[in-house]
Amino acid sequence: MTGGPMKDLRAVGAIAMFGVILFILSLIFMITTAEAGGEISLFAVIAPDSTLDWHSWTPSGAGDLNNDGYDDFVIGLPFGYQVGQFWPGMLRIYLGGAEFDTLPDVEVYHVRDDCPLGIGSTIEAVGDINGDGFDDLVLGAETECFLWTGDAYVYLGGAVLDTFPQISIIPYIPVGSYFGHSMASLRDINGDSYMDFIIGAPEFYPMSDEKGSVFIFYGGDPFDPEEQLFVEGDSLENCGTHISAGDFDGDGIRDILISFPEEEAQENPDTGFVRLYPGHDLNPERYVQFNNVDSITEIRGCLFLGDINDDGYDDIGIHRQFNGETIEETWIDIYFGSAVMDTTVDMIYQPLDPNQNLIPAGDLDGDGVDDLLYVRCADDSVNDVIEIFAGGAGFDLEPDYIDTTWLPHHYVFWVDAGPAGDLNNDGITEFFVNTDSVICIYNLEMNGVDDGSQAKTPGNLGIRSITPNPANSSVSIKFDVAEMGVAKIEVYDLLGRRLYSTEYVVRSPGQHSANFNLSDFPSGIYFVRLNLNELSDTRKMAVLK
């Protein structure tokens, strides 16, 4: 998982607990109506306590640390533990279970007390690196120990979990390198049955030319923490600002994706490129390169997205931003994996929030195919929106599940999200949404109405999508029916009052669409109800004026 520069969040005041309580109550109120095919449901809420500094917390799925059959969840708190003038940081572990609770089961402290900023700025679940049957973590401390050199630590899982990371990775690199800024799990890339991983130091050689470097670490029993340089950038390329790993060519071995954004170049500050290194032949000179489209397009990130089109190859997303004289445009290029490692763009997604990326979320709907997650942070004109794009052979960039949560945006300074794992072992992956106010864990509860990603069966009826959502002046509703008849589309407000009703003649089974005008609808939350031959389906719609 790629990290980011440590935000200067100490200046942000303590969070108002009253606002957090209101926020939690609003979430419980909002998430009550099933979407077509499934409901984005609130699973758990982890709010900060008053005894710790929770700024810049880093949540992550952790795998099964204690091997009890339940995935676990962790939160890194780089500012969460203070010793005198230092902040060595800490990690909180929340063990999964049939009844998941939000009380930390284990608190992991730094092995050193003399560091200005501590562990947990980045976290990577790397699997079992020493072959003992327990999943392990790598904890980054990119700003640790004066002059921003950066360190990393291995936390080994076990039947009894320790309160300190057991292995230190302290590389022999220059100060200011930001070692630990980015990390990625390679699984078993060298075929020795131990899990491996990589760590980026994007400002390696900071006093000279900021080349950036990426180091590889191979698992073993015992694990050897000595770094091995994998690839190094040229002058000002900032190699390793973003790193990710997945199987792009479908050979069963993870490939390595590394960005070279050239963020600090003086003459041409917004160039850069991304390189893909085949895992079956780890050679820094052997790669496929995804070039930037022009000299004024910035690389904002790169990620393996999982196999979102279910063809046996993991897919890639590269987040780019165009910085023109009068406008800024941001988009995500999607490349479908293939045996020949094709670099042709297959799809383009333009996010509503230029600071947010598409997030690989694993299998959220339980159909065995990877899904994508997108979360938009609130501003003065719109509310937070959670969107899930269901993976499958017919993958498209129209969200299959949407939920609008009323976050009090005056408490929100950033937002991110990611997979949390199957915390209660019900076969459905939970995911988290993280703000500086609260961490919300959600899951997708399937309600038996198809979302359009699977073939319709006789007797089923479902609203496939409402677009745009939130809407302003008009809206289009796509729906699926399995029989002919007269469909009735109705709109209700939160008090249950019917505000709109129209009929649509269905002359053939399949997908249909209907449009209607929202000019008379004030801002708010509404429910769209579809009725046909004693069957019905309801979805939530937001109107923003």
* Ranges of each domain in the chain: 36-445, 462-543
Q: What's residue 89's pLDDT?
A: 79
Q: What's residue 295's pLDDT?
A: 53
- Residue 25 three-state SS: helix
Tokens describing residue 188: 């078993």
Q: What's residue 429's pLDDT?
A: 94
**Phi, psi angle pair for 126, to nearest 5°:** -105, 0
Domains 36-445 and 462-543 are alike in CATH topology: no
Q: Where are the beta strands (DSSP E) in 95-187?
A: 106-109, 122-127, 136-141, 151-155, 167-169, 182-187
Tokens describing residue 100: 């998941």
Whole-angstrom distance, CA of residue 155 vs CA of residue 149: 20
Strand partners, 428: none
- Residue 326 three-state SS: coil
Give the max Cα distance, the chain. 75
The ranges of the chain with pLDDT < 50 are 1-36, 206, 264-267, 269, 381, 406, 408-413, 448-459
For the chain, what is the mean pLDDT?
79
Whole-angstrom distance, CA of residue 279 vs CA of residue 273: 19
Whole-angstrom distance, CA of residue 92 vs CA of residue 105: 8
Q: Which class in CATH covers the domain with range 36-445?
A: mainly beta
Contact 73/45 with Cβ under 8 angstroms? no
HSE value, Cβ hemisphere, 13 Å, CA-based, for 23: 23
Q: What's residue 209's pLDDT?
A: 63
Q: Tell me the fold of 462-543.
A: Immunoglobulin-like (2.60.40)
- Residue 194 three-state SS: coil
Helices (H), 314-353: none
How far is residue 337 CA from its own chain's centroid?
20
Contact 430/449 with Cβ under 8 angstroms? no
**pLDDT tens-digit readout, 4-32:** 433 333 333 333 344 444 444 444 444 33
Q: What's residue 8's pLDDT?
A: 35
Whether the bond between 408 and the residue before it is cis, its omega within 30 degrees of 0, is: no
HSE value, Cβ hemisphere, 13 Å, CA-based, for 142: 25
